[in-house]
Structure 1
Amino acid sequence: MKIIDLGKTEYTQVLRLQKKLFEQKIKEEVEDTVLITEHYPVYTTGKTTKPEHLSDIPPDIPVVPVERGGSITFHGTGQIVVYPIINLQSRKLSVKNFVWGLEEIMMQTLHELNIKSYRHDSYRGVFTEKGKIGFVGIKISHFVSYHGFSLNVDVDKKFFRHIIPCGITGIPVANISDFIPDIPIETVKSILIEKIKNIL
């Protein structure tokens, strides 16, 4: 499995790369690949997005409809975004176990930082006592995954106030920096990469 850190990127640039790798992976022309990035501000809408979830979008931030599951979310600097383009069948993974694994990567990363987290009975993602901190939205076709998950490190939470993140009301959004002020994103990323290697 190849892990590629792209640094800070425009969302549509990485979406094109994902789709290219996805098509190549279906044909088994490339090995399993995990892309890691921070995006410049963007909103993305998934299959369950409703108009009321995005009624207050700032006009200067793009909104990109994508094929993944879930509703609307925000990506921005201070958030680690991970896109696994992998063959689930060759790894003997069901979709349920794959999603569980993505959540587990985030939860084990938080555990290393002494932050308690948990899964919610009703929603996908990772939650803490201060709010939802990890987000999952995937697409599977021909047993190959793309899209993925994001973990908030120190993202500006004002951008989430313009939407109903993931269509969930009543649960705030949290950052790792709410627990550990001034934590470098590279510190979190290095832990996260180790967990990706161990779990995927």
Structure 2
Amino acid sequence: MDARGALTVADLGVVDYDAALAIQAAMLAARLGGTIGDTLLMMEHPHVFTLGRGADERFIVGNPASVPIRRVSRGGQVTYHGPGQSIGYPILKLEGRDRDVTKYLRDLEAAMIDALAKFGIDAARRDAMTGVWVGSRKIASIGVGIRRWTTWHGFALNVSTDLSFFDSIVPCGIEGCRTTSICELTNRAVSVRQFAEVMRESFRRVFHYDEIVLAGPSQTGQAPHHLMAGNG
């Protein structure tokens, strides 16, 4: 496959979910308009449950902590985001042979599987179940949106997540689904930032980018200014 050139990666730190949606929407518009190149936004969210376009609210089975609930324009059922979870939102233009939604989903899985291997975790896919698994436990979820063959939304991988929050939902609508995390599996302290540094390189290799350009972290939860240059 031909290389894709440079991938810009921006680690935005902890970003409120609604603010992250606004950042994604602005960057999606910029990518559609050709004023930015392919970009991977990495971040962490405060507690939130999200429902995909056609998700069934009955899969939220309890909410004792009054976690906010948002319905959004991604695919998939209900999932949980919160502290200790590595979130990736790729804003990519799919071209040529890459204009294949199934291929895009499998590539996202492959990138996470590759990154987890660097932590000694043997992760895998499961037939007909989008996401990444370690044995019978799910460690990462995927829910994407694609507009005019440009991607948004993305993936969430449990690094040091408090897994008890998944008890309030039926994760991804899969009855009996149990979740796990890097820290639970390795019994080591691993930070979201440590995982993100490994993940961006795995993403680069799987998606065939020549190089990574780091945009730098933002303390305000806003996209770095130069990413949005020319977006008006």
Give the corresponding residue for 1:157.
163
The separation in 1 between residues aligned to 2:117 and 2:169, in whole angstroms, is: 29
Residue 42 of structure 1: aligned partner: 48
1:34-62 Cα shifts (integer Å, max 9, x gaps): 10001011111002311320131236311
Structure 2 counterpart SS, 1:49: coil
Q: Distance in 2 between matches of 1:112 and 1:152?
A: 15
Return the match for 1:135 from 124, 137, 141. 141
**TM-score of the two chains, using structure 2 as the length reference:** 0.82
Q: Give the one of 189, 192, 196 matched to 2:199.
A: 192
Unaligned runs of 5+ in 1: none
Match of 2:186? Answer: 180
Q: 1:14 aligns with which of 12, 20, 43?
A: 20
Q: 1:51 aligns with which of 44, 57, 71?
A: 57
Residues 130, 174 of structure 1: 8 Å contact kept: no
Shift of 1:91: 7.3
Amino acid at match of 1:159: F
Q: 1:170 aligns with which of 158, 176, 183?
A: 176
Could you list the per-position Cα deviations for residues 5-34 of structure 1 after superposition, in whole angstroms to 9, with x for gaps in the alignment?
A: 001110111110000111111111111111
Q: How many pairs were matched up?
A: 200
Counterpart of 2:67 in structure 1: which amino acid?
Answer: I
- Aligned partner of 1:97 in structure 2 is 103
3-state SS in 2 of match to 1:125: strand
Matched residue, 1:81: 87
Secondary structure at the counterpart of residue 188 of structure 2: coil
In structure 2, list runs of 5 or more residues that go unmatched. Answer: 1-6, 208-232
Q: CA deviation at 1:122?
A: 2.1
Contact 1:46 1:70 in 2 (8 A): yes
1:110-168: CA deviation from partner (whole Å, max 9, x where unpaired): 11112111111121000012500010000011010000001101100111100111001
Q: How far apart in 2 are the matches of 1:128 and 1:58?
A: 28
How many Å apart are 1:189 and its aligned residue?
1.8
Q: For the Cα contact (< 8 Å) 1:72–1:165, is it kept in 2? A: yes
Alignment equivalent of 1:71, drawn from 72, 77, 83: 77
2:30/2:36 contact within 8 Å kept? yes
Q: State the structure with more CA Rg.
A: 2
